[in-house]
Structures are given as structure tokens and as C-alpha cells.
Amino acid sequence: MDNDVRIGVFVCECGGKISGALDVAALVEYARARLGVAWAEQANYWCLPGGVARLRAIIGAERLERVVIAGCAPRTHRTLFLRALDGIVPPPFVSVTNVRDLCARPHRGDTLAMSKARDQIAMAVADLAARPPTPPRVARITPHAVVIGGGIAGATAARALADAGIAVTLIEREPELRAHAQERLAAHPRDHLRVLTSTTVEQVGGSVGQYRLALSSGETIEAGAIIVATGEAESPIPNPTSKLAEMLHLPVDANGFIADARVRLRPTDRIERGIYVCGAAHFPCDEARAIFQAYDVAARAARHIQRGKIVNDAPFATIDATRCNGCGDCARVCPFAAITFESRASSRLAVIDALLCTGCGNCVSVCPVKAASVSSATDEQIEAQIRAAVHGSARLPVYLLFACEWSGYSAAEIAGARGLTYPANTRILRVNCTGRLSPGLLLKALEMGAAGVLVLGCAPGLCHYEQGNEHAAAVFEQADALGHLMGLDERLALKWIPPDDGEQFVQQVTDFEK
């Protein structure tokens, strides 16, 4: 570990749920003596007000820069600790590792439970020690909205925004608004509303909160939010939105309509782009539905603009300009259109929008020249965790599980919460998305001493990062083929795990270990 980085480890007793199965004092001593951290301490509950106050006091007194909280689920408690430590420890340096559901509950009474807990804590410390700084990205939101399309949906959205006190420009390609749209706007004072007819959007640039729209009139306007309301309600219109969708990086279906975003599957750290779609731009719909959707997106756009600024602390990908060859593979797999290209002399260079990037790592796994990297999951960080897992406290075969946090890791937590038992010589390495993995990393884990490597990802069609699991499958096939040539048959496996199926997690892990 880098001795210049001051890391603290705080082990929670969780009211006996952890301390009833694990020797918490021994875990604290292990962190202090064997991991070389600057501070280690235990408490009954770190998440309660008294524990939070103690946590803050220690961090300040001991000048801790990075913190590992060994307790319960990061899904339920990391946000709580981020709020508690706001302004004290940057979010990327607050790690919550779940020794309750990964160690104490599933391996109660197993002599190997302590070995697993020690190693899971060591993996978290190794991850933080190798993690490079990632300063937060801040962007101002332009207090102006643009509505594209002068039908009933566009006029309704524009009026709703103007009623909320937000400056809005309504753009319509026809010489005049349709009659029902004119009725919507006729009685509205034009203090906040401007209507441009016989006008189209020719180009869209800028980034989240600060879009620049070049119009056919020669004017360029800036906007913090854009609402697409092209198309006519109840029209059978292929819809003329394909060009606009391409400019705004919006997906379209086979009929040219803008596809609905799968909101349920969006990662929680995804920044709101401030681009919304309503009415017949989505699909032919009646007037009532178009109006309902218009009010909905107008409210969301208003909230977005009223925030004033965007702050994103989540780790993001970067491109090494000295290595990038402009092949375009990274942009092809980016699920949120965060990658564009700039011309450089006789070549082109990939550029990542740090506000749009969620750090999934799909670009890293496909980059043929290793120009892409993610600060939350560099090769060095992952290898440091592998090393801590396979060369840890146990002197027995260790099976390494690369678990997607949305499926495999979630299923592991549920299995533990239900007290389901599986082999305790497993070590779980959580990744944002299995699409981040590469053949080299999977084989490296075997080379470093793992008895086997199991990748647990989301089922096809259910990836939070669109096709991340499909990239993982391709990566696994390459690693498996290379492993076969090296005589490593059956030591690599890939399984799809539902996020709420603890029983299937246990079955897959048990079968693999056998």
C-alpha cells in the first residue's frame, strides 16, 4: 500500500449481526497490523448519529484521506455515509464493503468466515490505495429551454415552461403553428416565450447543461434543456425525427420514432442529460396522451434547469491521446453517447464527456491500444484486489467471483441476507459492469493464483449499460479460448444471474467450486 495515502478502516458490529458471527476486534487488529492502515476502529453502529459523529471526528483528527466501512450493503448505506462525510472525504474515496451479507450471515459457524472477511476488507483497502484522484466535474446549466416542434405537445410543453418562469424558445419548421397550438399559446404573455417558425435545427453541440443549437436562420442559441416534440398526434408520420435524433444521440426504432429510455435500468450515478421527448416523436398518439407527456417532460426540464448547476463525483473514463488511434470502437460500445471525436492533424482522437460518462468501462474492454481507462476500475486497482484475494489470510484454494453490482453482487447480498450457505473460499470482486473486464484480467487472476474465476453478470437485455453483458460474453469467449490453449479448461466460467435470486447465486457458485 502507498504509505503516503492515509486510509481508515471502520468495522461495524451491526448490533450483533456481524459481531455475533465474526471476531470484529480481530478484524480491526488485522487492518491495523497487517494492512498498515492509518487508523482502524470498531463500533456497534457506524451509521447511527453517534457513530457518524465519531467517524467524522476520527477522520478529522487523524487526517484520513480515504475510508473503508466494513459493515452492511453499499446499496443501502453508501449514500448515507456519503452525506455524512460530505466535504470531508471525496465520494470516490468512501468504500462500503458488505462483510455482514458476504461473510457473517452465509458462513456463520464456518471457520473460514473470518478469512473471507479479512480478505474482503483487504480488497477494499487495496482498491482505495490504488485509486487515482478524480476531482468532481461541475457545469453551469443555461437558464433557457428549447422546444422543437410546434404541435399540441410542443406548444403545451413550451407554455408550461414559460408558466414556470423559464425562458423558452419554441422552434417550428412550418411557416406557422397549427391551430390548436396557437390556441394554447394565444393568451400567454410573451415575457418568457419566443416562437420561431420556418426554422429547423441544423446542428447541436455543447454538453450537458450548455447545449448550442445552430438554426437554419443562421442564429445559434444556448439551452440547458431540450424537448423534442416533433410529429403530429395520431399521425400514421414515418416520423421525421431521425436526423434530429442522431444530432441529440437518441435511439430510434425501426419506424424512425425515438425509443423510450429504459429508466428502470439506468445506473443511479447517471447524470440527467436535460434532453426529453414527448408526443408523436415517440409514437403515434392521441391528443390527450400528447398533452400529458408534454406536461410531464416540461416539469422534468424545469427541475433540471432550476438546479442551476451539475456536480458529478462519479469516476469516469479518460483517453490517452498519445495512444488513441481513432478506431471508434469505444464510441460504438458507449451506452450513453459520452464519446465523440476530434480531428487532430491527419488523425482523429476520441474525447469523453466527463459529465455523461458513468464509468462502466465498456470502452476500456474494447480499446485495442489500451488508450481508455476508468479511474474507479483501472487494471492496477483490479489486480491489487485480485492480489489481496488470492494471497490473503487463507492458505487454501480461492475462487474469485467478478460480480456485476446490479446482478451477481446483488444476488450475493440477498443470499447472505437469507442465510443461504455456499463455499467460504470464494472472494467477491464487485464491478460496475462485467463489460469492463478483459481477457487479460481474467487470465491474470488465474496466473496470480486463483483456483477458478467465475463471472456473474446481468441476463441479456437487462444490462444497466445497454450491451455491457454482451461485451462481457465476447471477452469471456476470448479468455476461454486462450485458457483452453493454456490447459486451463473449466477454471473459467460465465453465468447470468437475476439480481433477486439468491438461490441461483448459491447454486451457480457451489457447482463451479465443485
> Of 334, 330, 332, 358, nearest to 272 (Cα)?
358
How long a stretch of residues is the chain?
A: 514
Helix (H/G/I), strand (E/B), else coil: 313: coil
Amino acid code (one letter) for 8: G
Residue identified by cell 484486489 is: 385
Residue 31 cell numbers, joined: 487492518
Residue identified by cell 416562437 is: 195
Residue-level pLDDT at 3: 57
pTM above 0.85, yes or no: no
Residue-level pLDDT at 188: 62
Residue identified by cell 490473503 is: 392
Residue-level pLDDT at 506: 97
DSSP string across 17-86: TTTTTS-HHHHHHHHHHTS--SEEEEES-SSSHHHHHHHHHHHHHTT--EEEEESS-HHHHHHHHHHHTT
Residue 234 pLDDT level (bands cut at 50, 70, 90): very low
> What distance in Å separates the CA atoms of residue 144 and residue 301, rounded to the nearest whole number?
10
Residue-level pLDDT at 1: 46
Class of domain 1-134: alpha beta
Residue-level pLDDT at 9: 98
Residue 496 cell numbers, joined: 447470468
Region of poorest pLDDT, from 30-34, 95-99, 388-392: 388-392
Backbone angles phi, psi at 196, to 5 degrees: -115, 115
> What distance in Å separates the CA atoms of residue 52 and residue 46, rounded to the nearest whole number?
6
Fold of 316-374: Alpha-Beta Plaits (3.30.70)
Residue-level pLDDT at 29: 97
> What distance in Å separates the CA atoms of residue 20 and residue 209, rounded to the nearest whole number?
50
Q: Tell me the pLDDT tens digit for each residue of 166-212.
A: 999 999 999 988 888 888 787 666 678 999 999 999 999 888 899 99
Sorted by where each begins, the domain ranges of the chain are 1-134, 139-310, 316-374, 396-514
**Helix intervals (H) in 307-375:** 329-333, 362-366
Are residues 86 and 92 in contact, defined by beta-carbon separation less than 8 angstroms?
Answer: no
Region of poorest pLDDT, from 6-15, 261-270, 356-365: 261-270
Alpha-carbon separation of residue 514 from 180, 341, 423, 426, 444 (angstroms)? 69, 48, 10, 12, 22
Are residues 33 and 39 in contact, defined by beta-carbon separation less than 8 angstroms?
Answer: no
> What distance in Å separates the CA atoms of residue 103 and residue 18, rounded to the nearest whole number?
9
> What distance in Å separates the CA atoms of residue 263 and residue 403, rounded to the nearest whole number?
22
Alpha-carbon separation of residue 23 from 103, 129, 262 (angstroms)? 12, 25, 44
CATH assignment of 396-514? 3.40.50.960
Helix (H/G/I), strand (E/B), else coil: 498: coil
Helix (H/G/I), strand (E/B), else coil: 113: helix
> Of 221, 208, 450, 417, nearest to 305 (Cα)?
208
Residue 337 pLDDT level (bands cut at 50, 70, 90): confident
> Of 101, 129, 113, nearest to 9 (Cα)?
129
Class of domain 139-310: alpha beta
Amino acid code (one letter) for 87: G
The number of beta carbons lying within 10 Å of the beta carbon of residue 277 is 27
- Asked if the domains 139-310 and 396-514 are classified in one and the same CATH topology, the answer is no
